[in-house]
Structure 1
Amino acid sequence: MSDERGGEVPPGPAHQAEPELVLRLAVVLLVAASGAVETISFTALDHVFAGVMTSNLALLGMAAGRGQDTGVTAAVLALVGFGVGAAVVAWPTRRSTGVVAHWSARVMLCLVGEAVLLAAIAGVWAAVGGAPAGTTRHVLQFGAALAMGVQAAAMVAAGRAAAPTTYLTGTLATYIVKGLGTTRSRRWVPARLGALVAGAAACMALLRAAPAWAAVLPVALVVCAIVMACLPLVRLRPGGVRPTA
């Protein structure tokens, strides 16, 4: 599929098969979840992004230039949270070898950890009625970025069986430059881009209609993605049917 920059990874001699449909759908669900988290982060927390660190670096520079302590704090919390999340995943997955047919058990455990973290965020969010303030707001901002760091690093560790889910600028640029729909993996790029928009739109609608429950959406999407990604692992059990391309 694609690497973390959105570029195509040439098939290796030991891995010729394409990822299964269920894995592609799981990636789409994770993208939708990141769109929902970004909506909460930018519109209802500290006006920074939970998973797009390039933008946060620019926001940090602008806040510093204007002398806004609040903006600097928010950007730093997001940057540190994302970095910590990615580092936490990098340690247990550093020796993992990407398998095209399924995601490794370590990658799956990292995604479960993300779901648990998002569930904790949703619980706090609901407890304050969807209107966090002060220290609670900062903690939730850090937690949201931490979750996106975990998700981004997990997808890198999954290798060719996954694709970027938190930052799609490189994916869009590669899709435009190298041709529309020229390979099987690129045919899924519109689905991922659309999922980002759909996740953000659905979360925004929840923030307006039922703000206390808006943070439940990304939890549900990540859980659905995990369930979807488990299907190839179930078929790899002894006596099961091995995944096909």
Structure 2
Amino acid sequence: MPRPTPAGLYTSGLLLLTAATGAIDAVSYLALDGVFTGNMTGNVLFLAFALVGVSGIPLLNNAFALGGFALGSMLGGRLVRRGHPVGLPVRSGWVLGVGAALIFTLVGAWAALGDLGPAWQITLTAVLAALMGAQVAAVKPVGNTDITTVVVTNTLANVTRESRLGGGRQTALQWRHRFLAVVSMGAGAALGAAVLRVGDGPGALAASGVVFAAGVATLLVARRAQHHAERADAPAGALAVDQLATR
């Protein structure tokens, strides 16, 4: 059985993070305050509805979700920085690892608090949205534009518009990545909703955290595999210089 390639591992990690986004959005929408933490398109629409007086839409919650996502994305961009070669930078690994730990911290806090009041709901929503924003910035250097991990509207448009029926010529790899991204988001949302039906919010968020952590672990394995592959392909002289430089 062939060993997974770094590219394949990166794809698997991104798909797991996409599924985690769907699961976390299910938790935030169904168990918190009817707000998305990863899908900002929905929040922009909800915010607009609320601003013109549509009842039953939490204006403040949507605003905090949008603000949290934007803040997380900015902080993630600052921490990860730009100009990296294609792959997962060390800083991205740290951002994602802290994000996974934060999810389980929130699970513990939610379980300890029990039923959350409006202020706690807004706080939890904002923190989860910030985590989603930071995650996007962290995986950007991987360079797979077909799997964005947080939104699949454009992905669905591409997989259909660039299909043969749409007159396009997408490659088999592009089709597979785009199709699996849409499926992963839906599967994650179904997981979150299913756990909520038989359990509670903290349990569903914990399940989401497990998927998120699996995605982070897979990306770290991909980074290690890429590093080993690059060293194996490097000339002996370059390896010697590299070894001297790291002493």
Quick check: TM above 0.5?
yes
Aligned to 1:188: 177
Is it true that 1:228 corresponds to 2:218 in the alignment?
A: yes
Aligned to 2:93: 108
- AA aligned opposite 1:187: R
Aligned to 1:154: 138
1:125 deviates by: 2.2
Q: SS where residue 151 of structure 2 aligns?
A: coil
Q: Measured at CA, do residues 58 and 161 of structure 1 come closer, stay the same or move farther in structure 2, by a change above 3 Å? A: closer
- Per the normalisation by structure 1, the TM-score is 0.82
Native 8 Å contact 2:17 2:215 kept in 1: yes
Within the candidate set 143, 149, 153, 1:169 is matched to 153
Give the Cα separation in 1 of the matches to 2:102 and 2:68. 12
1:155 deviates by: 2.4
How far does the alpha carbon of each residue in 1:165-199 deviate from its partner, in whole angstroms, 9 at most, with x for none? 11110111011111266231321222221111111
Give the Cα separation in 2 of the matches to 1:107 and 1:60. 31
Aligned to 1:144: 128
Native 8 Å contact 1:82 1:147 kept in 2: yes
1:126 deviates by: 1.9
How far does the alpha carbon of each residue in 1:32-80 deviate from its partner, in whole angstroms, 9 at most, with x for none? 1000110011111111111122221111111121176971101111001
Aligned to 2:67: 80
- AA aligned opposite 2:198: A
Give the Cα separation in 2 of the matches to 1:214 and 1:241. 42
| 1:1-245 alignment runs, 5 A limit | 20-66=7-53, 71-99=58-86, 102-129=87-114, 131-160=115-144, 163-179=147-163, 182-211=171-200, 212-235=202-225, 236=227, 241=232
**Count of residues in Structure 1 that have an aligned counterpart in Structure 2:** 223
| Structure 1: gaps of 5 or more residues | 1-17
Q: Measured at CA, do residues 23 and 161 of structure 1 come closer, stay the same or move farther in structure 2, by a change above 3 Å? A: farther
Higher helix share: 2
Calculate the aligned-residue CA RMSD, in Å. Answer: 2.5
Q: Measured at CA, do residues 69 and 43 of structure 1 come closer, stay the same or move farther in structure 2, by a change above 3 Å? A: closer
Give the Cα separation in 1 of the matches to 2:56 and 2:192. 28
1:215 deviates by: 0.8
1:203 deviates by: 1.1
Native 8 Å contact 1:156 1:162 kept in 2: no
Q: Measured at CA, do residues 124 and 90 of structure 1 come closer, stay the same or move farther in structure 2, by a change above 3 Å? A: same
Native 8 Å contact 1:19 1:161 kept in 2: no
Q: Measured at CA, do residues 97 and 46 of structure 1 come closer, stay the same or move farther in structure 2, by a change above 3 Å? A: same
Q: Measured at CA, do residues 173 and 19 of structure 1 come closer, stay the same or move farther in structure 2, by a change above 3 Å? A: farther
